[in-house]
Structure 1
Amino acid sequence: MTFAATQRSRSDDRRISPVFWVLLAVLGTSGWALYEGYGNARFGVFLFVVAGWMVSLCLHEYAHARTALHGGDISVGAKGYLTLNPLKYANVLLSFVLPIVFVILGGIGLPGGSVWIERHRIQGRLKHSLISAAGPLVNLVFAAVLLIPIGAGWLDDPQVHAVLQGYELTVSPFSGALGFLGLLQLSAALLNLLPVPGLDGYGIVEPWLSYNVRRAVEPFAPYGMLAVFALLWQPQVNSFFFGVVHGLMSLFGVDADYASLGHYLFTFWKN
């Protein structure tokens, strides 16, 4: 293979996928329509939140892959993980389908699936921890980008007002969409940071555990996410968890009512 062919191949491995550009286009167009008051506001919120959630999932997985690349796993490029194409990830069902289904059914930010990192290529426990931490950090940054405009008052006194159960409110449906999507980002980050096998939180601490502990925990990794979700369906646990999420929203100066409004508008098929 010539040098030029190698360069072209590497460029292709890192070229942003048209699928991701389409998701960004839907996100931007639906956000603009909500802000300006074009079309059906409830369906617009649905499109904005689903597209934004998928974009964040792509960036979450990209962050894992990019950090792994700098840590020593050069195979992530050939696997297509650097193209932001959701169809290239190790498990499309876990990474994208199930998270979207859970957002639609329960308004919960389910952590996505995984990119396949060849851990034997990476030397040093700190690098392994940083690879696992990169994804949740993206969700936290995404949440800040979404919530800061609301908390800073940049969307106060809107020209377009949201309608809740027949009553016109003094806030924009765009603010509700940002609040709900921000809540999803925070919930995904918190869930992912739990030190439970199968989640990124465990991936952060795993390199620092003894070999015997890691071997003992390994069989439970496929069931960690299911166990967390089973707990979240318990009313007391659910109430506590979202109390923490709402508390984090308040740090940005955003009331939980924005997320509630966004969730109401998002479920356009109800009421």
Structure 2
Amino acid sequence: MIDIAHHIQRISIIAVPLLLALCVHEVAHGLVALRLGDPTARQAGRLTLNPLKHLDPIGTIAFFFVSIGWGKPVPVDARYFKNPRKGMMLVALAGPASNFLLASLFAVGFHLIQGTHVSDPDGLVMQVLYPLLLICQAGVFVNLILGVFNLLPIPPLDGSSILAYFLPARLAYQYERLGRYGFFIVIGLVLLGNLTGFSVLGALLFPPVEFLGGLLNVPI
């Protein structure tokens, strides 16, 4: 039986860091593209932290159920880049890198709050600090998951654009064409895990997430 109260509490804690993580991820793509000469994201109004501009409904809902998610991809036109392949690699790298940076900032907040001395554990200050502590902890988890997930070399995830840069041009082209099936590959892996009891995605995601969480000294 689904614990409704537990899910509401989880959503209330995770909502802010998740929205921030998705927005920062997409804005990072757009900013690097702009820096490399592509104004497409700016012209599309995507260089903003307004979540309505970046949310993919399915990707957002998926995060709450299977702990993986995605935003609406920022439009990028590689024809503006002096070196299109390198430009696409740098743009792709910016998304996960922004999530790892944001995870580090949430970790700083977590440790600052955790180290705060509270004279009255049942007082108003604690009633404010404890939810903030949970939000910071969730912020670390959300950003590490998104960062690691997007580094998977499954087109069209960011990891595929990074890997494609190091492949011969013809092979990279064939590889990136798999992007039309990427969504189905991810969903297939999730369903396979549900059917077999062994999650391939979980095996790929959670060990590095737990390792990075350990480096940040934040329980995941």
Of the three residues 56, 59, 62, the one matched with 1:99 is 59
Distance of aligned partners of 1:49 and 1:210 in 2 relative to their CA distance in 1, 3 Å threshold: same
Corresponding residue of 1:241: 205
Amino-acid identity (%): 25
Does 2:42 match 1:77?
yes
CA contact (8 A) 2:155 2:179 kept: yes
CA contact (8 A) 1:183 1:245 kept: yes
Shift of 1:64: 0.7
Gaps of 5+ in 2: 123-128
Counterpart residue type for residue 26 of structure 2: E
CA contact (8 A) 1:54 1:96 kept: no
**CA distances 1:58-113 after superposition (whole Å, capped 9, x unpaired):** 11111111111111112332211223334445xxxxx431232123223x131323
Counterpart residue type for residue 119 of structure 1: A
Counterpart residue type for residue 141 of structure 1: L
CA contact (8 A) 1:111 1:191 kept: no
Separation in 1, partners of 2:176, 2:102: 31
Does 2:31 match 1:66?
yes
Shift of 1:217: 2.1
Residue 82 of structure 1 aligns to a residue in which SS? coil
**CA distances 1:218-254 after superposition (whole Å, capped 9, x unpaired):** 4310222432343355224325532331121111112
Separation in 2, partners of 1:240, 1:72: 35
- TM-score, structure 1 length as denominator? 0.64
Corresponding residue of 1:206: 164
- TM-score, structure 2 length as denominator? 0.77
**CA distances 1:20-55 after superposition (whole Å, capped 9, x unpaired):** xxxxxxxxxxxxxxxxxxxx9985763342122112
Please say which structure displays the higher CA radius of gyration.
Answer: 1
Counterpart residue type for residue 87 of structure 2: K
Residue 81 of structure 1 aligns to a residue in which SS? coil
Of the three residues 68, 77, 90, the one matched with 1:118 is 77
Of the three residues 192, 203, 214, the one matched with 2:150 is 192
Separation in 1, partners of 2:57, 2:80: 30
Of the three residues 116, 125, 136, the one matched with 1:178 is 136
Corresponding residue of 1:144: 104
Corresponding residue of 2:126: none
Distance of aligned partners of 1:74 and 1:173 in 2 relative to their CA distance in 1, 3 Å threshold: closer
CA contact (8 A) 1:102 1:110 kept: yes
Deviates further, 197-206 or 124-133: 124-133
Separation in 1, partners of 2:164, 2:48: 28
Corresponding residue of 1:231: 189
CA contact (8 A) 1:41 1:173 kept: no
CA contact (8 A) 1:45 1:174 kept: no
Gaps of 5+ in 1: 1-39, 90-94, 162-170, 257-271
